[in-house]
A and B are shown apart, each in its own frame.
Chain A
Amino acid sequence: MPLTDRGRAILQRLPAGAFSSVGSTGCEIVRHDELCVGCGRCATACPSGASSRGDTFDVNQLLDAPEDSRRGALGAALRRIARHDPAGPIPVPERVSVYRTIVYEAEKCLGCGTCVRACPAEAVEARAPEVPA
């Protein structure tokens, strides 16, 4: 269930990582960047600011994307003319919004799974937390 505005306001008043002392109560979030379409809905939905749109783009995300996706088509075109493997992430101009790698900071993450529900591409996976024996 998505957070209400009131709930989000309460969470934003807390310092980041305030829940870390509680231990692993939330889900473990696993990102599959090759499936990401860069829409940024996880960053918009995230209540604690753990996911955000970065300023750089990892070109390998295009090359590893599924073939029938738009990023996959870009990757296929790039692979045909590439002379060597991509040399690290590239900085992204201001007005290019989609081709950005989402930055995920695990230490800020509450494990609430909001990003999983927000993702249209099933690129974010929530795994059950490990229960200490």
Chain B
Amino acid sequence: MSATAAEVKSAVAPVTGASYEAVRAAAGNDTAERAVVAFCCRECAYAAADASANARTPLPPSVRLVLVPCSGRVGPLHLLSALAEGADGVMVAGCLEGQCHYREGNFNAIDRVAFVQRLLKSVGVEPERARMFTMSAGEPPKFVAAVREMDRAVRSLPPLERRPACR
């Protein structure tokens, strides 16, 4: 006997619904929308994110994943544009130090994130809004912990104010 569409829906819906509510409750009473853009290296962090999704681990609803071939692809313009266009925090997730598949892309990313932090600090924006995390492909819990930590850090800050883009 094959399951009808209604049966499938009722089997799936409670699981996703419950986990989403659980995440919402964990986020506390702060209902202001926040957004965290996570640039994830294809070789490590994105694979970890994929594995954590397969295990149905709930991620904070604020996070948006962006797949990049290597964390070394991410430059200051990616991070600052994300912040200027609506993100409250940006994170770069790459391989463990010394384990970059392109040899030193994650070292470049670490220094670029540090540069962006100093840029933000010099214009009076909290440097914690940009952060770098490293993990291996086999560490989905570490990825989830990084995303939750970033979400918590952004929620502890006021929403980022923006001026309209001048044209």
Interface residues of A (CB under 8 A from B): 57, 59, 62, 70, 73-74, 76-88, 90-96, 99
Are A93 and B123 in touch, CB under 8 angstroms? no
Determine if B47 is an interface residue (Cβ-Cβ < 8 Å). no
Interface residues of B (CB under 8 A from A): 76-77, 80-81, 83-85, 107-108, 110-112, 114-115, 118-125, 160-166
Known: A59-B123, A77-B77, A87-B123. 6 other contacts (CB 8 A): A76-B166, A80-B84, A81-B84, A83-B124, A93-B115, A99-B115
Are B115 and A78 in touch, CB under 8 angstroms? no
A-B contacts, CB under 8 A, total: 81
Contacts of B120 in A (CB 8 A): 81
Are A76 and B160 in touch, CB under 8 angstroms? no
Are A94 and B111 in touch, CB under 8 angstroms? yes
Cα(A93)–Cα(B109), bound, Å = 11
A83 → B minimal CB distance (Å)? 3
Contacts of A83 in B (CB 8 A): 123-125, 161
Are A93 and B114 in touch, CB under 8 angstroms? yes
Are A80 and B122 in touch, CB under 8 angstroms? no
A77-B80, A77-B83, A81-B162 known; A90 vs B114 contact (CB < 8 Å): no
Contacts of B114 in A (CB 8 A): 93
